[in-house]
Structure 1
Amino acid sequence: MTRILVLYYSSYGHVRALAKAEAQGALSVPGTTVDLRRVPETVPEEIRRSAGYVDDETPEAAPGDLARYNGFLFGTPTRFGMMASQMKQFLDQAGGLWAQNALVGKVAGVFASTGSQHGGHEATLLSTQIPLQHFGMLIAGLPYSFSGQTSRDGIIGGAPYGAGTIAGADGTLSPTATDLAGAQFQGAHVADLAARLAKAPSLREVA
């Protein structure tokens, strides 16, 4: 079995909706198991309440869990063109796996939610990929074989760098059908690549 982890942080539910679609897509690949997890919250509860953050009962992951998976899909809201600090803190705690080369050669994709089309959407997708490459992961985006990303029907998220959605400046927009279809496509794409890599000969050992 190919094991896929869909790991996300979501404040208002937009990224969580994409994460569920990513998981559905990954599950559509035969021989795949998928775990949907979130990173731990770092914002105090009273601030969460006052800011209107949504509750989320999805189980949390721990950095050490990453070693058990063949592929990953990381979801984050945009924070000034970068991933949310909660996701960055989680990855920062995985230094032990980096030191062991435990994640080298595993495939990963990124998806994101942004307040506006020009609010750092693509920058977030790209900048989130940087630490993943330090871990030695192979990055899979959202290829143009998903034709929905070239649609001109309304505001849609996503890019060749990963699936996404535009939440609106006040967060009132929901992921469109195209956004969710893109997330499902990416989930299946990563799961398929992870399955192929899992069957391939081992990568070169450390020189």
Structure 2
Amino acid sequence: MKFLIIAPALFLSNIVAQAANLNAVTNDPESGIYLTASDYKNKQLHLAGDQSTNNKLRLNDFLGGRTLTMSHNGEDHKFSKDGIYGYRDKDGSDYRLYKSNSAKYKILENGAVVIYKAEQTGNKQTGFKPLVQYYFSNGVAGDVHLLSLANLERTFKGQPAFDIIDANFQTDSDLIKYDEYHQQFRINRLLAKL
């Protein structure tokens, strides 16, 4: 009698485990390197691959390492961080490397302005929680600046975008408001109307 109860339970748990495994394989995003801003814009990954190609990315961040290593099909490829635009990690998130060997900016949205997020290690004052700051660039190849009203107004001075920013945003924290309905940052939704 116990066998009749245990056998179906084992069978069902095996099916659930196989389904979860199948899901993990089909949802495995590609990772790789963006050599240029144009590559990022056109979504052309160099050394693109997933788990089947054994893609592994090592940022070599220890002591401000100047290179990153991409293992692809068992072969290591080294890149100078200041010689490439960025990379896509194994989770499918895109990052831009900009001017500093250790600075990596997660690309949150590529719209009228490109919006990035960067995290720094927390300290005693923050309870060791990571410090999150938001940045922007005017286009994928533009300079990266802290996302602030002053920086946006300086970047778009004398352009129609300046008037939209001035009329719709009062504080720096207003700039990171996300429009859930339109699935984009509010600033990009407003600037897209130009």
TM-score by length of 2: 0.27
Greater relative contact order: 1 or 2 (C-alpha under 8 angstroms, separation 6 or more)? 1
Higher strand fraction: Structure 1 or Structure 2?
2
TM-score of the two chains, using structure 1 as the length reference: 0.26
